[in-house]
Amino acid sequence: MTTDTEYPELAEPYNLRLPYKPAVIVLPITNQHVQDAVVCAAQAGVKVQAKSGGHSYASFSSGGKDGIMQINLQSFQTVQLNENSGVATVGGGVRLGNLGDGIFTQGNAAVAQGTCPGVGIGGHYTHGGYGHASRNWGLAMDQIVGAEVVLANGTLIKASSTQYPDIFWAVKGAAESFGVVTTFYVQTRAAPASITYFQFAFTGIFNFKRVFTNTFLHIQDVAKNASVIDNRISFGIYLDNWGTYSLSGAFFGSVNEFNTKVKPELLRTLPSAQVTVQSMGWYDYMVKVSGEATIKVPLTGYDEHENFFAKSITVPESAGLTSNALNALYDYLKTAGSTQYYIIINLYGGPGSAINSKDTNFAAYNDRDSLWVLQNYGFGSAINFVNGINSAIINAQPQTSFGAYLNYVDPTYDAATAHELYYGDAVYSRLAVLKKQVDPQSVFWNPQAIGA
Query: Is the four-CA dihedral 177, 51, 289, 411 of positive or negative sign?
Result: positive
Q: Among candidates 378, 393, 317, 312, which has minimal Cα distance to 345?
A: 312
Q: For the chain, give the mean pLDDT.
A: 97
pLDDT at 103 over 90: yes
Q: Which residues of 243-261 are buried (b: 16+ CB within 10 A; e: fewer)?
A: eebbbbbbbbbebeebeeb
Question: In this predicted structure, what is the pLDDT of residue 396?
Answer: 98
Question: In this predicted structure, what is the pLDDT of residue 200?
Answer: 98
Q: Among candidates 388, 312, 308, which has minimal Cα distance to 340?
A: 308
Residue 444 near residue 48 (C-beta atoms within 8 A): yes
Compute the average pLDDT of residues 11-31: 97
- Sorted by where each starts, the structural domains of the chain and their CATH numbers stand as 1-191+413-452 (3.30.465.10), 194-280+307-409 (3.40.462.20)
Residue 175 near residue 434 (C-beta atoms within 8 A): no
Global pTM reads 0.97
Question: In this predicted structure, what is the pLDDT of residue 231?
Answer: 98
Compute the average pLDDT of residues 331-348: 97
pLDDT at 3 over 90: no
Question: In this predicted structure, what is the pLDDT of residue 381?
Answer: 87
Interatomic CA distance for residues 302 and 53, integer angstroms: 9
The predicted-structure confidence for 24-82, as pLDDT tens digits, reads as follows 999 999 999 999 999 999 999 999 999 999 999 999 999 999 999 999 999 999 999 99
pLDDT band at 426 (very low <50, low <70, confident <90, very high): very high
Question: In this predicted structure, what is the pLDDT of residue 394?
Answer: 98
- Non-local (6+) Cβ contacts of 5 within 8 A are none
Pairing state of beta strands 341-347 and 273-280?
Answer: unpaired
Which of left, alpha, beta for 94 (phi over 0: left; psi -120 to 50: alpha)?
Answer: beta
Interatomic CA distance for residues 406 and 393, integer angstroms: 19
Question: In this predicted structure, what is the pLDDT of residue 4?
Answer: 85
